[in-house]
Amino acid sequence: MHWIRNVIPYRYFVWLFSGIAFIASLGLLWWNPLIGSTPSLLFGALTLLGSIDFFQKKQAIRRNYPIMAHFRFLFESIRPEIRQYFLESDTDAIPFSRAQRSLVYQRAKGAVDKKAYGTLIVRRLSINEVALVSALIAYLKPGDLLDNRAAHPVYQMFWDMASPDTFAAVAPAEQVVAVA
């Protein structure tokens, strides 16, 4: 099998296969014209495309990889869609994260845009954040955050460092308040 590689490089195998399949489909076309017409046209077009690619002089990738270069061009043209739907994580924020975008889509459709309590973002607290949350819990009484959240200075400092589910995770059960 290694002698084939010395005669014909691997990069031409798709073109070679389409030529062999075209010759085989011509036999099928002769035997049964109804069944053999589609494969003959398909493999004939691929063989012709490979020949055009091989003998053209403008693009080296088409000359070196006949037929397969067109797959590269196809995937290159749909690259943004592949990245958007298959490779992007929920928190990549360029220009908006998937979570923000799905919230906008849900609101535009008039669907329920509320999420269950909690977060999907893995959050590891530093010792300073744990101390801050503990101090906040000792300072606040149940309902303090709901009465006047925006004006409360401790809440403003806390909000910059931790999410509401962090407060619920560290607080004693009697001091947990629902943060909307």
Q: What is the 3-state secondary structure (H, E, C) of 118-157?
A: CCCCCCCCCHHHHHHHHHHHHHCCCCHHHHCCCCCHHHHH
- Which of residues 17, 45, 77 is at a domain's end? 77
Type of residue at 22 = F
Q: Which of 121-125, 159-163, 169-173 has the highest mean pLDDT?
A: 121-125
Domain membership flag for residue 97: no
Q: Is residue 50 part of a domain?
A: yes
Residue reference for tokens 């004939």? 44
Q: Is residue 91 part of a domain?
A: no
Query: What is the tens place of the pLDDT at every residue in 9-27?
Result: 888 888 999 999 999 999 9
73 and 10 within one domain: yes
Q: Is residue 67 part of a domain?
A: yes
- Single out the residue in 77, 103, 118 at which a domain terminates: 77
Close Cβ partners of 39 (under 8 Å, ≥ 6 residues apart): 21, 25, 28, 29
Residue 93 belongs to a domain: no
Q: Is the pLDDT of residue 47 over 90?
A: yes
**Residue numbers of the domain that contains 133:** 127-175
pLDDT value for 176: 47
Which of 51, 77, 103 is a domain's end point? 77
pLDDT at 153: 61
Number of domains in the chain: 2
pLDDT score for 96: 72
Residues in the chain: 180
**pLDDT confidence bin for 99, thresholds 50/70/90:** confident
**Is residue 117 a part of any domain in this protein?**
no
Residue 54 within any structural domain of the chain = yes
116 in a structural domain: no
